[in-house]
Structures are given as structure tokens and as C-alpha cells.
Structure 1
Amino acid sequence: MKTLADHYFCSCLDYLEARGLASHEVLNAIEFNEYTNKQTQQLAPRISLNSYNTLLNYAKEALNEPLFGFKLGQQIRTADFGVLGYLIESSTNLASAITALLSYDRLVADIGQAKFEQHQTLAKVKWLADPQCSSDVILRNMTAWVSVVRQLLNPELSPSCVYFSKVYSSTEQQMLANWFNCPIKTNAQYNQIEFPTSYLTLPFKTDNMQINLVLKQMSEQQLSQFKSQQQLTGKINNILMAKNDLQKCTLIRTASALNMTPRTLQRRLKQEHKTFAALLEAERKRRLSLYINQYPLNTIAFMLGFNDQSSFNRAFKRWYNINPRDYIKNTL
């Protein structure tokens, strides 16, 4: 199950309190039931992605803000990220902060995977969101990253371009462009922030090497504990999402990557009421939604790991009850 830390979830409630929505009323409205102690309404240490999606959707409607996740992301505090926030805050520069993010992002939310690319003059941070993440979850995540960097470096700092996998209206796109102060691309293959590589060496005002070292040790301990508790389903999803394409993503290879036999992997997945085939199919469908208007069908078939075009066509028709060519014609 995909989850996020209670403090990250509670930061949404804090924001709603400031907007006049009482936390207990909000939680009752979304029928929240993830407590360790129902009487004192003490939240569990990890909250499900489903509850997070429901909270953001409720807030969007209650406040009549179509881009609620964007508004929420602007109000982020480093403390909302817990130990990771303080680790980033005490980093030497943006490069070391991104390293911390890539290493320990799961401590805040195990709902996607961050990747970093550095080219000659341009750097990129990609976020591969879980298929269940709503538009507002993605908006908050991407906006919060830029907001934190501005707080720690320079409020006038802007990316070169920001990409969103979701689709927004022209008015919404303009609102995003005004705040990010750069071009906004929607319906993109990835959620991605591009910025000049020169930003990587800009020093943080809050740099503290000794505190950073202590926080890094704490993060390692917490991550080790989290990994030991993580379900096998989540580990396999992370492996699949990290692949550039899904060629050769087989049960045998995945079991080997997890240092277990295929039989053991199947048995443990059965305990979680899952199968490897179902997880692979879910990842194929997630990627298909990103690829369908970006690449030719034969390229998509290869990237999704099908052996031939006909196998891809049969799978597509099983998923959507229509063949891919007719689907594309109907959406144009």
C-alpha cells in the first residue's frame, strides 16, 4: 500500500485550519479512520495514499479551488517534510539537497520515485508518480520542491521549464506559468523540473555540516526501518517504475533483483493478494497513458515490453475494449 508520513498529511490539515476548515470536521467529512487511538484521534504514523487523495479532493471542492494542490504546495515549510526537511535545510547547496531528496524521499511519501539527470547546461528532476496519485497530489509535490528551494536560496529563482503529466486548461496553465515564472508543459511523459546546472552549486543560507551529518544518520535509520516494513508489492512497483522500458521485466529477473527465488516471490505476493502479472500490467497501463499521444504504436509496444505489435493490440483491446488505432482516432 502506498503511504505518506503523518506529518506530511497533517500539514494539509494545518493549512485548511488556517482557511477556516476545522480538522476534526474535515476528517469526519472524508470518513477518515486511520487512527492508532480513535478516542484521542491520534493519526497512524503512515497514512494511505487513498486518504490523501480524498483529503485533497475534498479541500478542492470545499474551498472551490481547482488548483488546490498548487496553492497547498506554495505554503510548504521544510518542517512539513520531517527529518528530510531539516536534512535538506542543513545541506551545503542544491546538489547535496537533491542527493538527500533522492535518497530519503520515501520517508515523506512512498507514492512515487524521484530521478535526477545532469547535462552540460541543464539539470532535470523527474518525479514518476504512482498511477493512483491525483492531479492535486502531483501539483503539491512539484510546487513544494520549487517553493522550498526559493526559501533556501532566493525567492526570485525560477526553473527553465516545468512539465506535468496531467492536463490543465489554458487559464490554469497561465496561473502555473506566472508563479513558476517559466514555460509550463502539460500532458507530458514525466512530471519534471528543468533548471540551469549553475543552480546546483549555489550555497544554502542554512548550511550546517555537523547537523546535516546527524540528520543523515537519523534518515538512514528511519529508511532501514521503513524498508523492513515495506510490502513486497511496493518494492516491485519501485523496480518497475525505475526501468526506462519494460523489456525483459520478467518474474525471474525481478525475483533475482530482490534476492529471492521466483517461487518465494509468487508465494509472498499471494499473501498480499497480488500477482506479478497484475503489477506489470498496472505499470504498463500507467505508462500507456503517458505514451499514447507521444510515440508511434510500434515504439509504445516495445517500451511497454511486448514482444510484438499484435500482443500489444490484444492487451490494449482487453483494457479499453477498443483497438489502439480506433482509440487514437476517437481522441483526436
Structure 2
Amino acid sequence: MEFTSSTHYFLSILHFLERQGIPPKQALEQIDMVGFDLNNNEQRIALKQYSDLLAFAEQELAHPLIGFELGKDIKSADFGLLGYLIESATTLADAVDVLLKYDQLVANIGQASFSQQHKLARISWQPFAPCSRQVVLRNFTAWLASTRQILGRELSPTIVCFQDSWSSAEQQSLVDWFGCPVFVNCDSNSVEFPTAYLKLRFQSANPSLFTSLAELSKQQLAQITALNDNQDTKQGISQKFSSQVTSLLAELPNLTDCSITTVAQQFAISTRQLQRNLKAQGTSYAELFDRERKTRAEALLNQFIRQKFVEKKLFENNLADNQQTANNIQPINRQNMSKLSIGNIAAACGFSEQSSFNKAFHRWFNCSPSKYLKSQTLHSESKS
């Protein structure tokens, strides 16, 4: 399945940027969408292009919470047909129901689910890769912002959870606006609220219009599904190459000398043929290689953190017992080891210079490797 966004939802970002002094043409050029037809509302935008536009907005405006600002700026028209369907719902329960059914009309970039327990209801959303944290943040903020607009009330959830991390200051900004505790580094993205909210009635309720729009939404969703099914058939071979390239990179002991030419030779095809196959699926070798680097860097750093934690415990035991352990482990200079290990990790991820690794790491996780090590180490020690 091809993961896409509606034109309305994509254009709302361009309109926001234009109000900040950034012309749509400039933004589109930066994400390789020169010639994009701004007046064609029937087209769908690839998830990568949608994510790239958010990344460009974050960098150009130097705003780490750009998804938050875009979510607050949401209007019903930005959701397209689904926005008007939700507006015509009678209660919040009806709105949640159609949101779960037809969310893919706006963007089929994640899977939403709903659950109730005691007096609390929860909407969870699991994004499809490659979804950035700005994509997730915009979704959750937009949901609450549109609900507040329709109800004309400053409702607040009881808890909001994000899988991604945010700085303390950024987290506090979210707490202030959501009006409830906001947790990061969670197992899932979710918003929890009292089940009593589900009975709240919309002032814009229009049952007859709701019925008509629901039927139209059903038809449009069927069209998108059929289009994706047809696209899946055409992309079958390309998808095999994508998964095979991903598997090949994951199996390599290190990512040194992993050029696209070298990888293409492993499949006995030309570099251009591999590029065409991956492009047909909406991806590229550079994207797959970058994704493997990120995955490997995180895994190796977490392994190093666990190693440091064990060695710290052994070192403390040595001091307490005033003797060597059974493995004869000597006290170590952990600071020097940290620098050396980060360099080794950079090399294992295919970086010839640690500065390049640091830059890429900051793009992936919004912090430096050393800061990541420090925060995760403190987290591990607090759990022990």
C-alpha cells in the first residue's frame, strides 16, 4: 500500500509557510516537487513528501514544535470531506466513529484505534514508517484543536502520550496547551479523555447532511483503496527489491563502503535499474541506507549504555570488596571509553568522520550522541 496524504492537508502546510513569508514555490523546490499543481485537489501526496515538507518547515522556521503550530492552525477545510463530515456529527461519539472509519481520506499514514476502560476513553495512533515526530504531533494537536473549535469549549484530555521525545521546555509548551500531563518516550501515541465527553453535542450538528457525507466518504475511501490495490500490483517487483535491500543492509557487519553501486552488484543489476525499482515504490537507496544507519546507531548506543551500566556495577563492587572480580575487570576511564565507542559506532554506521555522524544523529534524534548517552544512562540508572 502506498502511504499518502490528501492535497488539502498538504496544502495547509504551504499556506501556513506562505503566511510566514516562505513562498510555496520555494518550499516545493526544497522537497523536489517542482511543477506540482497547486490547483489539483484530486491528487494524493506521498508520505515522504509530506514528511519532507514538515522537516523543511521545522528547519526553515527554526521551530522544533512546527507540527504543534500547524495542528493549532487547523481548519475543517484542511481535512477535506472528513472535516465537513465531523462538523455535521451530532455528538463527539459520532465524530470519533467517523474519524476512525475515514481517517485515511485525510492521510492513510497511520492506524487509529479506540478503546474504553472504566470512565476513560482512549484514541491511539500508530504511524506508518517513515513518519516523523512532527507528523504525529500535528495529528494529535489538530484533533483537539478541531474538537475545541466545533464545541466552542476549551476541553482538555486527561493524558497525552507520545512515542517520541521532546525537551523539557517543549514538553511544557505541550502541557500548557493540551491542559493535561504530556508524557514522552511512551510505548504508543495516544490521547485519553473522560467517556462523558463522548455525549457532548455539536452545535453544528446536521443529521441529514451527516448521512449524505458519510455515504460520500465511504465511496471516496473505496476509490482510494482500489487505487492503492492497483498500485500494489504494479509495485510488486519493486517492493521485493526494497525489502531485499533493507535485509541486505541489516545483515552487513558494518556499513563501510555500502555504495548503491556495490549493492546493485549484489543483485546482478545495474545501478540505474535499482534506482528505478526503488523510485517506483516511492523510496530510494539513500533513504533505505539512512534508515539502516539510524536503526544501527540507536541499537549500538543502547548496547553501549547497557555495557557501561554493567561495568559501573562491577567497578562499584570492586571498590566495596577491595578485590578483583572473577573476570579480573580493571577500573576503567569511562569518559575516554565513551568517546572511543562513539567513534567506533560512527565507523560501524559508515561514517568516515565523527562530525558527519554527529550531524546525522542530531537530524535523527534532535540531540547529540553524547546527550543521548547521558539521558539514556540516567534513565537506566533511575530504573535500577
TM-score, L = length of structure 2? 0.62
- For structure 1, the residue ranges without an aligned partner over 5 or more in a row are 235-266, 282-317
User: Residue in 1 aligned with 2:182?
Assistant: 184
The structure carrying a bigger helix percent of its residues is 2
- Pairwise CA RMSD of aligned residues? 2.8
Q: How many residues align?
A: 261
- Classify the secondary structure of the residue corresponding to 1:64: coil
Larger Rg: 2
Tell me how far apart the structure 1 counterparts of residues 145 and 83 of structure 2 sit (CA, whole Å): 12
Change (3 A) 1:70 1:176: same
User: Residue in 2 aligned with 1:273?
Assistant: 239
User: Residue in 2 aligned with 1:16?
Assistant: 17
User: Residue in 2 aligned with 1:254?
Assistant: none
- Counterpart contact for 1:4–1:49, Cα < 8 Å: yes
- Counterpart contact for 1:89–1:152, Cα < 8 Å: yes
Change (3 A) 1:171 1:207: same
Tell me how far apart the structure 1 counterparts of residues 199 and 148 of structure 2 sit (CA, whole Å): 14
Cα-to-partner distance string for 1:53-73 (whole Å, 9 max, x where unaligned): 111111112112110000010
Instruction: Tell me which of 77, 85, 88 is aligned to 1:87.
Output: 85
**Which one-letter code corresponds to 2:16 in the other structure?**
Y
The more displaced of 119-128 and 150-159 is: 150-159
Where does 1:181-330 land on structure 2 (aligned, <5 Å)?
Answer: 181-231=179-229, 270-274=236-240, 328-329=306-307
1:329 CA displacement: 4.3
Tell me how far apart the structure 1 counterparts of residues 85 and 42 of structure 2 sit (CA, whole Å): 23
1:275 CA displacement: 7.7
User: Residue in 2 aligned with 1:292?
Assistant: none
Is 1:109 aligned to 2:75, yes or no? no
- Classify the secondary structure of the residue corresponding to 2:97: helix
Change (3 A) 1:328 1:80: farther
Cα-to-partner distance string for 1:146-202 (whole Å, 9 max, x where unaligned): 001111114321000100110000000000000001000001111100000000000
Tell me how far apart the structure 2 counterparts of residues 43 and 88 of structure 1 sit (CA, whole Å): 20
User: Residue in 1 aligned with 2:345?
Assistant: none
User: Residue in 1 aligned with 2:147?
Assistant: 149
The runs of at least 4 aligned residues of structure 1 exceeding 2 Å deviation read 40-44, 231-234, 267-281, 318-332
User: Residue in 2 aligned with 1:290?
Assistant: none
Tell me how far apart the structure 1 counterparts of residues 55 and 236 of structure 2 sit (CA, whole Å): 32
Cα-to-partner distance string for 1:87-142 (whole Å, 9 max, x where unaligned): 00000111110110110011110110110001220000000011311111111001
User: Residue in 2 aligned with 1:28?
Assistant: 29
- Counterpart contact for 1:4–1:110, Cα < 8 Å: yes
- Counterpart contact for 2:67–2:137, Cα < 8 Å: yes
- Counterpart contact for 1:115–1:125, Cα < 8 Å: yes
Tell me how far apart the structure 2 counterparts of residues 111 and 273 of structure 1 sit (CA, whole Å): 18
Tell me how far apart the structure 2 counterparts of residues 274 and 101 of structure 1 sit (CA, whole Å): 33
**Which one-letter code corresponds to 1:202 in the other structure?**
L
- Counterpart contact for 1:34–1:44, Cα < 8 Å: no
**Which one-letter code corresponds to 1:23 in the other structure?**
P
User: Residue in 1 aligned with 2:160?
Assistant: 162
- Counterpart contact for 2:161–2:191, Cα < 8 Å: yes
**Which one-letter code corresponds to 1:126 in the other structure?**
S
- Counterpart contact for 2:25–2:34, Cα < 8 Å: no
1:13 CA displacement: 0.8
User: Residue in 2 aligned with 1:61?
Assistant: 59
1:226 CA displacement: 0.8
User: Residue in 1 aligned with 2:279?
Assistant: none
Tell me how far apart the structure 2 counterparts of residues 136 and 230 of structure 1 sit (CA, whole Å): 25
1:19 CA displacement: 1.6
1:270 CA displacement: 3.7
- Classify the secondary structure of the residue corresponding to 1:133: coil
- Counterpart contact for 1:233–1:272, Cα < 8 Å: no
**Which one-letter code corresponds to 2:12 in the other structure?**
S
- Classify the secondary structure of the residue corresponding to 1:230: helix
State percent identity of aligned pairs: 39
Is 1:49 aligned to 2:54, yes or no? no
Tell me how far apart the structure 2 counterparts of residues 45 and 328 of structure 1 sit (CA, whole Å): 48
